[in-house]
Amino acid sequence: MDILIENAAIITMKNHKIIKDGAIVIEDTEIIDIGKTTEIKHKYPTGYLRINAKNKVVIPGFINTHQHAAMSLLRGYADDLPLHQWLEKWIWPLEKHMCGEDIYVGALLTAVESIMSGITTVNTMYHYTENGNEAQAFAQIGLRGVIGHVCFSWRKKEDKKTLEQLARNWHNKKDGLIRVSVDPHSPYTVDPEYMKELRELTKELNDKYGSKEAPIIWHIHVAETQDEKEKIESAFNVRFQGGIFEYLDSLGVLGRDVVAAHCVSLTSKDIQVMKEKDVKVSHNPVSNLKLASGISPLPEILKKGVTVAFGTDSPCSNNNTDMFFLIKTASLLHKGVFKNPTLLPAEQVLKMATIEGAKALSWNLHIGSLEPGKKADLAIINFRKPHLCPLYNEVSHLVYAAGPSDVDTVIINGKIIMENRRLLAIDVFKLMERVERTKENLLARLSESAS
């Protein structure tokens, strides 16, 4: 069914344009027209499902550029611990028991939660398995996503086979809703040789399954903690000058298709390299604070003109997928830490959560802003709430006052995915019961293995 949304305030994220009393016309998967309701209305008098968005604000759906969707199963399993203890005593031992079914169920939960908070595209890095995976979950719910398979030196052969399967089965599938990525875990878990091999493999996979419009991209953790250099040097018995990006550049693996998550511990030269190679940053302030990894020198990165988008990171280091929390936190954190209240103003962080996110995923030809010719990926947000009252400025409220529950309706690829907070493709209560059962089974396997 084609759709006409009317009477909305539309934040287009193109040329700072905000249309009051605006309308958007959607045919099939695309936006075909946008403008003042009074002008649009008579051009399309019949044949559209009309959504009255009075007192509502329409934005391009948020784009979450760093997630491990399956890990919602571990939300709140352990917190407030020293990093090593958290990983080695809690997270890894439980994760070891996760099977394909668990990955699929965890990703379903994250997909649902994402949509309920206005996120329409998720870039996720996890283990891909044929018998249960994140792509399957996203496609079922109707969430747009880039599905990665995370690669480690210790399983090269297996990884390469898996990447081939992932790309063949899922790249640019489901009406173009699902794309895939190659995900070297990090510079300290992927040795220099393997890093280069993965670069080569990405080219091959792109030749077979990708295109210029829909490339298979890279997704990697970089410079998350202060000790990453020592970790690389000791893991692979190498020595290098400068920062982590300088090291990666020396391997010849950087490029405009690389989404680098975290980027906390950087040299000035690193930032220059990022700019030169057009590497995309996924900034994850909530996770970085929670794990005490440090604070990214974001103002400096932005000043250099590097593309920066936002990532929630996994629901076990955040512990939700709330993009509203994230954009407010990012805006506030850098103001406070760098003692400048003009840093990261509201419009800039909203851009970073939408159009810059699309650029980060090399998907900006199709998503990230509301304009004719782009895919219809959007969130309709209800502003008739006490905490969004009175109204001086929609963008200010979106960043500093709104929350996930204000998202009313979500459309992805021209299809209504959530309507008045009701998901159309899944029974959310049944899903939550299934998640609880899945978690119980997972804990049972852990305790069996320990006994």
Contact region for its own copies (CB under 8 A) — 158-166, 238-246, 330-338, 364-372? 330-338
Nearer to its own copies, 104 or 194 (CB): 104
Nearer to its own copies, 344 or 361 (CB): 344
The least CB distance from residue 129 to its own copies, in Å, is: 21
The least CB distance from residue 341 to its own copies, in Å, is: 4
- Write the CB contacts of 405 (distance below 8 Å, at least 6 apart in sequence): 116, 421
- How far, in Å, CA of 284 to CA of 332, rounded? 14
End-to-end, the C-alpha distance of the chain in Å comes to: 56
Tell how strand 415-419 and strand 422-423 pair up: antiparallel
- How far, in Å, CA of 243 to CA of 266, rounded? 6
Three-state secondary structure call for residue 16: coil
Q: Which of 3, 57, 73, 302 binds its own copies (CB under 8 A)?
A: 73
Which residues in the 255-284 window bind its own copies by CB under 8 A? none
Contact region for its own copies (CB under 8 A) — 4-12, 173-181, 189-197, 391-399? 391-399
Residues binding its own copies: what is the number (CB under 8 A)?
A: 71
Stretch 114-143: interaction string toward its own copies, x if CB under 8 A: --xx--------------------------
Q: Which of 198, 286, 355, 380 binds its own copies (CB under 8 A)?
A: 286
- Geometric angle at alpha carbon 418, from 415 and 420, rounded to 5°: 125
Contact region for its own copies (CB under 8 A) — 240-248, 352-360, 372-380, 381-389? 381-389
Q: Which of 386, 430, 448, 451 binds its own copies (CB under 8 A)?
A: 386
Longest C-alpha distance within the chain, in Å?
71
Residue 366 and residue 212 in contact, taking contact as beta carbons nearer than 8 Å: no
- Write the CB contacts of 359 (distance below 8 Å, at least 6 apart in sequence): 280, 307, 309, 368
Q: Which of 124, 321, 362, 364 binds its own copies (CB under 8 A)?
A: 321
Three-state secondary structure call for residue 303: helix
Instruction: Enumerate the H helices of 284-322 as residue ranges.
Output: 285-290, 298-303
The least CB distance from residue 21 to its own copies, in Å, is: 16
Which residues in the 399-438 window bind its own copies by CB under 8 A? 400-401, 403-405, 428-429, 431-432, 435-436, 438
**Site for its own copies contains 252 (CB under 8 A):** no
Nearer to its own copies, 47 or 386 (CB): 386
Name the E strands within 242-401: 258-262, 280-283, 308-310, 378-382
Tell me how crowded residue 2 is: count the other CB atoms within 10 A of its CB: 14
Nearer to its own copies, 29 or 282 (CB): 282
Which residues in the 5-64 window bind its own copies by CB under 8 A? none
Contact region for its own copies (CB under 8 A) — 26-34, 229-237, 271-279, 322-330? 322-330
Tell me how crowded residue 83 is: count the other CB atoms within 10 A of its CB: 12
Phi and psi at residue 397, to the nearest 5°:
-65, -40
Q: Which of 16, 76, 131, 193 binds its own copies (CB under 8 A)?
A: 76
- Can you give the C-alpha Rg of the chain in angstroms? 21
Which residues in the 203-232 window bind its own copies by CB under 8 A? none
Residue 411 and residue 377 in contact, taking contact as beta carbons nearer than 8 Å: yes
Q: Which of 325, 365, 425, 441 binds its own copies (CB under 8 A)?
A: 325
Which residues in the 339-378 window bind its own copies by CB under 8 A? 339-343, 345-346
- Name the helix (H) or strand (E) containing 274: helix 268-277
Stretch 82-101: interaction string toward its own copies, x if CB under 8 A: xx--x---------------
Phi and psi at residue 419, to the nearest 5°:
-130, 120
The least CB distance from residue 288 to its own copies, in Å, is: 6
Nearer to its own copies, 296 or 364 (CB): 296
